Amino acid sequence: MPLIALTGGIASGKSTIAARLSERGATIVDADRIVRDVQAPGTPVLRRIAEEFGSEVITPGGELDRPALGSRVFGSPERLAALNAIVHPAVRAESQRRFDEAFSADPHAVVVYDVPLLVEARVDDPWDLIVVAHAPASVRRRRLVELRGMTETAAQERIDAQVPDEQRLAIADEVIDTSGTIAHTTEQVDALWERIRAL
């Protein structure tokens, strides 16, 4: 019943790795999905975000206006830290609930936590393996511009708001090089899966 953390910077290819691990039989717990769930309309987290950042970050329909919130926190370490202090505890509790649920359903499950902010929030948890998706910042910036339609400036701000690559690589048990083709990434993930199954 290994519990594996999968992390990487924005546009590093984590989703590609997670999808392949899912195809091979892993149970994926997606931190970004949990973030959206705990920030849903009517939740305590959303109310606290509105109190901290103003009603302008809530849409007329009562949902979080992510671009409006992003404009307030990216580029400001203090504001980003304030947001994380609200969101991280709720995400931690819900992710643990989902890990427990997965292992209760199948004690032999391989559970993979797809989590971008591992270094910032969860590095000290008892992971059996930490896997880092890695591509140079220049590659990730290009992906953000070409695939997500960001400006060069916005893309760089998102990259700069995260910890440096060196900090992620320093905690890695395994590194998947995602700077090449998807086929190359898949080959590495398949080899990793065989090592995981041998644990």
Q: Note the pLDDT of residue 158.
A: 86
Secondary structure of residue 149 in the 3-state scheme: coil
Note the pLDDT of residue 125: 85
Question: Of 120, 116, 51, 54, nearest to 84 (Cα)?
Answer: 120
For residue 16, which phi and psi values (nearest 5 degrees)?
Answer: -65, -45
Q: Which residues of the chain have a pLDDT value below 50?
A: none
Q: What's residue 120's pLDDT?
A: 80
pLDDT digits (tens, 9 = 90+) for 107-136: 999 999 999 889 887 777 889 999 999 999
Q: How far is CA 4 from CA 65, 113, 118, in A?
A: 31, 6, 11
- Average pLDDT for the chain: 93
Domains and CATH numbers, the chain: 3-197 (3.40.50.300)
